[in-house]
Structure 1
């Protein structure tokens, strides 16, 4: 993996934006698996595992980078859920936004556990959990970066791309964590974490729920989903390393767009290198 190029490890950052307006779409494959564990509980590994098991498109938070218009639906969905603005999303809306996917994992989709469980009564629910302290140590890097002025500056100078990602996060974290600062987000994290899992257990009908830890391997997951155990190791993706590399790529793309937007040209690698270091220090404490 370390010898692969950035284009090979993160192809969705380098392909042209799909420029798909999901509002015009409909479901084309049945929703089969809802992996509703909190972000930073191995969601990238679960995406890879579900893909190996044949579920085709598995929606993950990084998918917005290949179709930035997805943000235009996630933002009102989050505003309706957490702030009572607009119409709450139900089956009709999720069939448009997620209609190309047979499974989901990671945020923002995992914020809508109750809505998705209700919308897709035939879908199996997988709840991936990790030790709370380990989770918070990992998730804290997202908290720190999301509330930093650096991130907000990028959104301001690149409103058509990074600005949309920022607006998703600006609704998601204050909404789910009831927090206007990083400190408030950390203070509320345990209650949010425990509520998330308790609610999923409470509302999922018997027989539809698997509580899973990534170290459990293929067997319990395949038994639950009715799939044959693959003859390959269960994916183990280091999400911290992955996110750090993603941030470097995002920083480079955002730098180019931002400088173009304000009428400048990035002419040296030195400028890019300083910018990448400057941005990724906001996330340097992720584990």
Structure 2
């Protein structure tokens, strides 16, 4: 069984990927290669059967192309990770705009430039702007979450809030496996010294 994450970045996607890795799945997180043409050129007819070698894929760009992937992989299941919008916005703003870009290892200068172009195009596709327009990003976040739940059949969709404590119970019941003894991997948690809010990828 193949699983795709339909949740946008900074909603617990890193935690979810790690959880599936611990369950023995071959996983993939944020990436820029497999749906490059769809993102850069807006090709809706792109080949979406590019994850045959993976068991579970999370974060962007797959979260944006959940409808195409649901058709390309009719037996696949989807997990929509949610997060309180007022917590999500400052986290996504920091992720995309306030901290330096972390390039994959061994990227030379041309590939770094290509990666920057990809990230910019991806923000335009997903959020309607490559710039940090808060109202627009919040609107797109709400619309995305609502549409996923409207489009993906209930029997193929799990909705969970990792920040609120959802973990193994929901995941394991959804995919039909035994709950492991190890703790659920809540990744990338940090506490702000001023407001003590948690951030989660």
- Bin the TM-score by the shorter chain: 0.7 to 0.9
Which runs of structure 1 show a deviation greater than 3 angstroms over 4 or more consecutive aligned residues? Answer: none
Cα shift readout 1:116-152 (whole Å, capped 9, x = no counterpart): 1121111111111010110111101123248xxx76x
Q: 2:125 aligns with which of 172, 175, 193?
A: 175
1:162–1:240 Cα change, 3 Å: farther
- Structure 2, unmatched stretches of 5+, are 102-107, 192-197
1:37 corresponds to 2:4: no
Residue 192 of structure 1 corresponds to 140
Residue 258 of structure 1 corresponds to none
Residue 60 of structure 1 corresponds to 29
- CA distance, structure 1, for counterparts of residue 189 and residue 29 of structure 2: 13
Question: Within 5 A, what are the aligned runs for 1:98-247?
Answer: 98-145=51-98, 158-182=108-132, 184=133, 186-214=134-162, 215-238=165-188
Residue 18 of structure 2 corresponds to 48
Cα offset, 1:209, TM superposition: 1.1
Cα offset, 1:107, TM superposition: 0.9
- CA distance, structure 2, for counterparts of residue 201 and residue 223 of structure 1: 19
Q: Secondary structure at the match of 1:111?
A: coil
Cα offset, 1:239, TM superposition: 5.6
1:95 corresponds to 2:43: no
Specify which structure has the higher proportion of helix. Answer: 1
RMSD: 2.4
Indicate the structure (1 or 2) with the bigger Cα radius of gyration.
Answer: 1
Q: Secondary structure at the match of 2:64?
A: helix
Q: TM-score, normalised by structure 1?
A: 0.59
Q: Secondary structure at the match of 1:99?
A: coil
CA contact (8 A) 2:40 2:118 kept: no
Aligned length: 186
Cα offset, 1:175, TM superposition: 2.2
Q: TM-score, normalised by structure 2?
A: 0.82
Residue 76 of structure 1 corresponds to 37
- CA distance, structure 2, for counterparts of residue 238 and residue 79 of structure 1: 29
CA contact (8 A) 2:49 2:73 kept: no
Higher RCO (CA-CA < 8 Å; seq separation 6+):
2
